[in-house]
Amino acid sequence: MDPAPVTIVARWPAHRRLVIDLALGGAALGAVLGFAVLGRSGLTGVLVGAAVGALLGVVAGPRRYHITLDSDGVVIGRLAGSLRIPWADVGAVGIEDGWQGRRGATTALAVGRRGDEWPTAVPALAYSASGFRVGAQRPEEQLAPHRAGLLPAIAPFAEAHGVPVIASGLDDWWDRNRDRLSSKGLPGR
C-alpha cells in the first residue's frame, strides 16, 4: 500500500542559485537596455534588472521547483517544466554529492531513471555550501542539516515500490549498476 501523496516545494536556500542566476541575468539585460535607452546613466538599468531578476527567482523558485510523490511515480518540477518518472522506470533514489572546487560542495536528492546516463537531481531539494574558508565551517558540515532531511520523504514510497534507497554516493552506485538497471533487472531483486 502506498503512502499518501506528498508534494515538497523548494524552501530557502534550495533555490538560492536560481535567485542569483536570475539576478545576474537581469542585471546583464538591464545593463544592455539601460545603456541603449539612457546612455551613460545605464547603471540604473543594471540595478533595476538585478532587482527584477532576483524577485523573479524568489517568486519562481518555490512555485516551479517541487517534487511530487504519489502511487504513479515521481514528478520533478523544474523552471521550464516538469519531469514525470513512473515507479516502474525508477532504478534508485538517493543522495547525490558533488564538489565544485573552491566554490564548495553540493548535496541533492536524486532520482535515477532506467536508461538514463546519470540520476536526475531534484532542484527543490538541492543545496550548496561555499568552499572552505579559514575559520569557517567546512562545506560538508554546512550541508549536514540539509542532508538529514532529504531521504525521509521519499524512502517510504521507494520501499513500497521496491526501489533501492542509496544514503550516499548515488552517482557512484549508479555508475556501477547502470547496465543491470537498463535491462530492467535490479541487483538484489
Domain boundaries, the chain: 8-64, 71-182
Report DSSP state, residue 127.
E
165, pLDDT greater than 60? yes
181 — pLDDT class (breaks 50, 70, 90) = confident
146, pLDDT greater than 70? yes
68 — pLDDT class (breaks 50, 70, 90) = very high
48, pLDDT greater than 90? no
The sign one gets for the Cα dihedral 21, 27, 31, 37 is positive
Query: What is the structure's pLDDT at 187?
Result: 47
58 — pLDDT class (breaks 50, 70, 90) = confident
Rounded to two decimals, what is the model's pTM?
Answer: 0.78
Q: DSSP strand E in the chain: where?
A: 6-9, 66-69, 73-78, 81-86, 90-99, 105-113, 120-129, 165-166
Cβ atoms of 80 and 66 within 8 Å: the answer is: no
39, pLDDT greater than 70? yes
Average pLDDT over residues 84-112: 87
The CA-atom distances, in angstroms, between 158 and each of 43, 90, 106, 161 are 51, 9, 23, 5
Cβ atoms of 25 and 55 within 8 Å: the answer is: no
136, pLDDT greater than 80? no
Burial status of residue 37 (CB atoms within 10 A of its CB: 0-12, 13-18, 19 or more): exposed
Cell of 184: 530492467
